[in-house]
């Protein structure tokens, strides 16, 4: 009987710790995304105001990934930005991310607010478990300069030089431009 009780307590406790672990990882994902989003927005605003969109594209080309890696290192998680219509091939989605992004599109069509579109799952890859989290990135007015359908011809030329396979244009305000994606290895 005693053994049974100990086992029960063990299972309850491990379930509780597991749920706690998930919550901690959810919070960590959210705070990492917030840090990256704030940093990227601030950097973009500054360079747009100081040097204009062409310089901003040259800057984004390198700086966006540098800032992303810096924040990933600080917080000790994997984080990236990705999309179903990509500009930079370094931001390519994997299969799990393609599924989540497609579901975000369906959820938006079904009336969900784009600001609330997020998804999390414990996902196994090659026998390793990961906590994965994604949050949609909305298209705002400022994004249209470089992701809209009326891109200035000099800017369009610069973009085509840097990204010959660019698909990240023709977006409208309120579209899902892409998503942040976080991946945290779980201890087995
Ligand atoms: C000055 C031009 C410019 C503006 C304005 C701009 N972007 Fe981008 N965007 C780029 C460039 C260049 C890249 C590719 C380099 C990178 O960031 O990885 C990119 C890439 C991205 C990506 C990564 C996925 C992909 O397609 O490679 C997302 C997500 C994104 N932009 C969202 C936004 C959002 C949201 C806004 C508005 C808040 C915005 N961008 C405004 C130039 C711009």
Q: What is the CATH number of the domain that holds 169?
A: 3.30.450
Instruction: Count the Cβ atoms, other than its own, within 10 Å of residue 16.
Output: 10
State the pLDDT at residue 188.
Answer: 63
pLDDT in tens, 127-167: 999 999 999 999 999 999 999 999 999 999 999 999 999 99
- Supply the range of the domain harboring residue 126: 2-185
pLDDT in tens, 67-89: 999 999 998 899 999 999 999 99
Q: Is the pLDDT of residue 103 over 70?
A: yes
**Which amino acids bring their CB within 6 angstroms of ligand 1?**
44, 53, 56-57, 60-61, 64-65, 81-83, 86-88, 91, 137, 139-140, 142-143, 145-147, 168, 177-178
**pLDDT, mean of residues 29-57:** 94
Distance 174 CA to ligand 1 centre (A): 15
- Are the CB atoms for 176 and 93 separated by under 8 Å? no
Q: What is the pTM of this model?
A: 0.93
Question: How many independent structural domains does the chain possess?
Answer: 1
Cα 13 to Cα 6, 121, 129, distances in angstroms: 10, 21, 20
Distance 22 CA to ligand 1 centre (A): 30
pLDDT > 90 in the chain, percent: 81
Query: Which residue has the least CA distance to atom 19 on ligand 1?
Result: 87
Lowest-confidence region among 14-23, 38-47, 153-162: 14-23
């Amino acid at each position: 009987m005693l053994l049974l009780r100990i086992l029960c307590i063990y299972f309850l406790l491990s379930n509780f710790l597991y749920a706690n672990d998930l919550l901690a990882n959810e919070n960590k994902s959210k705070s990492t995304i917030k840090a990256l989003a704030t940093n990227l927005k601030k950097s973009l605003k500054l360079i747009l105001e100081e040097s204009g969109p062409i310089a901003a594209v040259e800057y984004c080309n390198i700086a966006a990934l540098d800032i992303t890696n810096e924040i990933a290192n600080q917080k000790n998680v994997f984080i990236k930005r990705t999309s179903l219509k990509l500009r930079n091939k370094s931001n390519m989605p994997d299969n799990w991310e393609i599924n989540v992004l497609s579901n975000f599109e369906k959820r938006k069509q079904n009336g969900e607010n784009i600001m609330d579109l997020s998804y999390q799952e414990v996902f196994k890859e090659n026998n390793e478990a990961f906590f994965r989290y994604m949050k949609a990135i909305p298209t705002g007015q400022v994004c249209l300069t470089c992701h809209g359908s009326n891109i200035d011809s000099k800017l369009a030329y610069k973009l085509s030089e840097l990204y010959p396979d660019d698909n990240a244009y023709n977006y409208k305000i309120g579209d899902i431009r892409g998503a942040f994606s976080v991946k945290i290895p779980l201890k087995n």
